[in-house]
Chain A
Amino acid sequence: MNHSNGMTLIVRTVTRLSVWLIFLYGIYIILHGHLSPGGGFAGGVIIALGFLNVMLAYGRGFIQRWLNIDFMKDIEASMAALFLAVGILGISFGGGFLANFLSKGALFRLLSGGTIPILNILIGLKVAMALFVVVWTLAIMHLEEGGQE
């Protein structure tokens, strides 16, 4: 078996079965950020670790074919602009930067909290993409070549 490209069959099988549960848990943490402990950052880190799990188990070549890294960079950059847009919409409709302009909903329901769930989703996507791209960038650096005097 070619060990340089990913890990053994056991690790690959466990990753294939468990990584979707990791993604689901991260999405749950992001969507329930305004109701329970957690939120955009914690859920984003969990999703990024799911991607990292796939990269460790299957190797860098697989993740390059599976994901569009440039598109992930674009998502990561545009989420900051969307966060700013939500904040400016708060100036227009709510009376201050990041002010709430949506219906607050009923307490303890999933669709409540005004703009906070939207901001949580934006932060979650940004953190997930940024953290994975950071680790990816470190992983593709070559130790042996480049920069020698």
Chain B
Amino acid sequence: MTVYILCFAVLLIGIYGVLVKRDLIKIILALGIMGYATNLMIILFAYRKGGHYPILEKGREVTAMVDPLPQALILTSIVIELGITAMLVALAIRLYQKYQTFDITKIRRLSG
């Protein structure tokens, strides 16, 4: 149970960064931390006590293995997260080209 609470704490750190920080780069990093917390939690759901990785190897008898399905899902999730991060960084660069700043309180020319 403790590890899940710690995962939630990491998620809260990410949410804090998104809500409080004013620098666009820090917001993107906080979104990454939120993603890591979610991935870690789903991987921990699949953990079995004393389980090996679910791959057969030469000279190893079949013992308890961790669940491979969440690991495959998380691999896809990491790829999607990479794409999201690249897109956010590109958008941040475009915003910097327009406003010459990463401070979100100064990016307000569109508001009325």
State in angstroms the CA–CA spacing of A35 and B57 once bound together. 7
Q: Are A41 and B75 in contact (CB under 8 A)?
A: yes
Q: Which residues of A contact B98 (CB under 8 A)?
A: 147-149
Q: Are B90 and A138 in contact (CB under 8 A)?
A: yes
Known A41-B75, A131-B82, A134-B86; contact A36-B93, beta-carbon cutoff 8 A: no
Contact with B along A55-99 (1 / 0, CB 8 A): 000000000000000000000000000000000000000000000
Contact with A along B78-93 (1 / 0, CB 8 A): 0100100010011001
Q: Are A147 and B94 in contact (CB under 8 A)?
A: yes
Q: Are B79 and A146 in contact (CB under 8 A)?
A: no
Q: Are B53 and A37 in contact (CB under 8 A)?
A: yes
Q: Are B55 and A138 in contact (CB under 8 A)?
A: no
Q: Return the chain A residue nearest B54 by Cβ.
A: A37
Q: Which residues of B contact A41 (CB under 8 A)?
A: 75, 79
Q: Is A1 among interface residues, defined by CB-CB distance under 8 A?
A: no
Q: Smallest Cβ distance from B58 to chain A, in angstroms?
A: 5
Q: Which residues of A contact B93 (CB under 8 A)?
A: 138, 141, 143
Q: Return the chain B residue nearest A141 by Cβ.
A: B93
Q: Which residues of A contact B105 (CB under 8 A)?
A: none
State in angstroms the CA–CA spacing of A137 and B83 once bound together. 13
Q: Jot down 5 A-B pairs with beta carbons below 8 A, ordered by A.
A: A35-B55, A108-B58, A138-B86, A143-B97, A147-B98
